[in-house]
Copies of this chain bind each other. A is one copy, B any other.
């Protein structure tokens, strides 16, 4: 069962479009293009990789251009940042409020987003036990995905 990735892309762009409309924000050509590029696959992608990709179509904008688009997409929850990799990845649950939970394959570099409420709940509880008021959770699990386990 191989997944139809074009479907992922279309879905993500459509969701973003709708949410921007709801929120009265501009889903500009640049922002759409960057989101589309991020959704090229399910691997986290660096800002400068995106810059290079934009070089071919548009004419090579400078770093701030892409970083601003990324900031917007992050703020709207359309993408996540993978801190351990200095990279960005499309969010599968953009329409729902949630924390950042990823399984990242060390071999093929695909990243799968979780939204496990037991984990986030337990983290929340554990933090509270320490009188700590959590505002943001970052969970990045590295290892081998199913496909890459057999190969290694």
Closest residue of chain B to A140 (Cβ to Cβ) is B138
* Chain A interface bracket (under 10, 10 to 19, 20 to 34, 35 or more): 20 to 34
Quick check: is A26 within 8 A (CB to CB) of the other chain? Answer: no
Closest residue of chain B to A106 (Cβ to Cβ) is B135
Given contacts A122-B122, A126-B114, A130-B114, whether A143 and B135 have CB atoms under 8 Å apart is yes
Quick check: is A61 within 8 A (CB to CB) of the other chain? Answer: no
Copies in the complex: 2
Q: How many whole Å from A121's CB to the nearest CB in chain B?
A: 10
B131–A136 touching, CB < 8 Å:
no
Q: How many whole Å from A57's CB to the nearest CB in chain B?
A: 31
B139–A143 touching, CB < 8 Å:
no
Quick check: is A112 within 8 A (CB to CB) of the other chain? Answer: yes
A126–B119 touching, CB < 8 Å:
yes
A141–B137 touching, CB < 8 Å:
yes
Closest residue of chain B to A114 (Cβ to Cβ) is B126
Given contacts A118-B122, A119-B122, whether A136 and B127 have CB atoms under 8 Å apart is no
Q: How many whole Å from A22's CB to the nearest CB in chain B?
A: 27
Taking CB atoms, residues of chain B closer than 8 Å to A143 are 127, 132-136
For the complex, what is the distance from the CA of A117 to the CA of B138, rounded to whole Å? 17
For the complex, what is the distance from the CA of A140 to the CA of B139, rounded to whole Å? 7
For the complex, what is the distance from the CA of A137 to the CA of B140, rounded to whole Å? 6
Taking CB atoms, residues of chain B closer than 8 Å to A144 are 132-133, 135
B130–A103 touching, CB < 8 Å:
yes
